[in-house]
């Protein structure tokens, strides 16, 4: 297969971890007889510096032309203490999601037996956790009308959802549940919000098209609790944009393997794959960041964007091997040898 992949390294540790994912992807491609063309493009603070825009039109064109997008991380401390800055890296993220139509953010949380001790939760609570959130990513209060009134003394934001938006996301959830444990949880606040009632209504209507999937409906506050108490009681969860923002981040820390968690943002045409960790500026340029989340995001890309399951499995197998053999960066070294970011990447590529 010929694979044309847009490569958005972004800020902070983005470029370093992306480099390793490129090495590993190239190794997989060589092994299975594919040919990858990488199309690098600017995003985030790097793009603001170069062209004054966090998601420039040229970058968008590169993404649209590609078969998939591999993304590092964006964000720079220079913008952090200045919420009123005119141009901010995050705006690039939101613009990218909207322009590429990345409507479904797929965020798995699973455990690695060798890392379970790193979880803030007790072992018996976290063991066996393997859940996945589908967060709606291009609607809701993120993209509704907002502004000020009454002489700047009143502010408002509007959360809006259409039935079609909910249905599109929900169908992905049902399909994913069918491929997993056939359990789907719809997370909303239907006891208060009209948009949540639309969500619930729409999902309820879809139930009969997926009779093999068992659907439950839970309020967002209850889920925020149960994620800490019994995370392994969940399988697939679907939810709207803002609830998803909060809950996926909460879920990401319970496993103790946050530095290893990949994600996908699915669009109708193009999809994007990225580690869930941020740009981690303190570590930038030091060749110490853990590249595994980005490498595992590449695995999701092979599987989801290209339908290449064996290639994805080959990546996951070599990642597990690196963990088992202790070829890991300092965050996982536990007193053993700490490998450099680039050394881990080289080792993975060689052992694929």
Residues annotated as catalytic (active site), given as ranges:
142, 189, 221, 245, 249
Burial class of residue 36 in the structure, from the number of CB atoms within 10 Å of its CB (0-12 exposed, 13-18 middle, 19+ buried) = middle
State the Cα–Cα distance between residues 78 and 108, nearest whole angstrom.
Answer: 30
Least Å distance, CB 201 to a copy of itself, is: 9
Q: Is 221 annotated as a binding residue?
A: yes
Residue 248 or 329 with smaller CB distance to ligand IPM: 248
Residue 247 or 288 with smaller CB distance to ligand IPM: 247
State the Cα–Cα distance between residues 194 and 198, nearest whole angstrom.
Answer: 6
Q: Is 107 annotated as a binding residue?
A: yes
Q: Is 200 annotated as a binding residue?
A: no
Query: Which of ligand IPM, a copy of itself, none binds 36 (CB below 5-8 Å, type-dependent)?
Result: none
Q: Is 135 annotated as a binding residue?
A: yes
Query: Which of a copy of itself, ligand IPM, none binds 190 (CB below 5-8 Å, type-dependent)?
Result: a copy of itself
Q: Which residues are at the interface with a copy of itself (CB under 8 A)? A: 83-84, 88, 90, 94, 120-122, 125, 141-142, 144, 146-148, 150, 153-164, 189-195, 197-198, 200, 217, 220-222, 224-225, 227-229, 242-243, 245-247, 249-250, 252-254
Cross-strand partners of 211:
none
State the Cα–Cα distance between residues 36 and 67, nearest whole angstrom.
Answer: 10
Supply 144's token pair: 């509704």
Q: Is 287 annotated as a binding residue?
A: no
Query: Which of ligand IPM, a copy of itself, none binds 229 (CB below 5-8 Å, type-dependent)?
Result: a copy of itself
CA angle 10, 16, 19 (to 5 degrees): 95
205: left (phi > 0), else alpha (psi -120 to 50), else beta? Answer: alpha
First to last CA, the chain: 18
CA 169 to chain centre: 15
Least Å distance, CB 151 to a copy of itself, is: 10
Which amino acids are annotated as binding site, given as ranges? 97, 107, 135, 221, 245, 249
């Amino acid at each position: 297969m010929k694979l044309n992949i847009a490569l958005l390294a972004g800020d902070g540790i983005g470029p370093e971890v992306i480099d390793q994912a490129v090495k590993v992807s190239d190794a997989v491609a060589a092994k299975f007889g594919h040919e990858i063309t990488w199309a690098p493009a600017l995003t985030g603070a790097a793009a603001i510096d170069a062209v004054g825009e966090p998601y420039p039109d040229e970058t968008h064109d590169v993404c649209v032309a590609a078969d998939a997008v591999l993304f590092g991380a964006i964000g720079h401390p220079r913008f952090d203490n200045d919420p009123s800055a005119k141009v901010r890296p995050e705006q690039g993220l939101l613009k990218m999601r909207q322009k590429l139509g990345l409507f479904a953010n797929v965020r798995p949380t699973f455990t690695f037996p060798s890392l379970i001790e790193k979880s803030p939760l007790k072992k018996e609570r976290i063991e066996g956790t393997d859940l996945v959130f589908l967060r709606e990513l291009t609607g809701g209060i993120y993209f509704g009308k907002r502004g000020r009134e009454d002489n700047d003394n009143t502010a408002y934001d509007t959360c809006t959802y259409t039935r079609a938006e909910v249905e599109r996301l929900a169908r992905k959830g049902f399909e994913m549940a069918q491929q997993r444990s056939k359990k789907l949880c719809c997370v909303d606040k239907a006891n208060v919000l009209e948009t949540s009632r639309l969500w619930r209504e729409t999902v309820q209507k879809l139930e009969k098209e997926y009779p093999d999937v068992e659907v439950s409906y839970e309020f967002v506050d209850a889920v925020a609790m149960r994620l800490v108490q019994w995370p392994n009681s969940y399988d697939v969860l679907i939810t709207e944009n803002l609830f998803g923002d909060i809950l996926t981040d909460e879920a990401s820390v319970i496993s103790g393997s946050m530095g290893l968690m990949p994600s996908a943002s699915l669009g109708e045409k193009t999809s994007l794959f990225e580690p869930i960790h941020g740009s981690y500026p303190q570590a930038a340029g030091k060749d110490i960041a853990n590249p595994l989340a980005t490498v595992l995001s590449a695995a999701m890309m092979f599987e989801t964007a290209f339908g290449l399951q064996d290639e994805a499995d080959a990546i996951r197998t070599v990642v597990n091997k690196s963990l088992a053999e202790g070829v890991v960066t300092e965050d996982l070294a536990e007193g053993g040898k700490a490998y450099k970011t680039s050394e881990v990447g080289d080792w993975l590529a060689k052992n694929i």
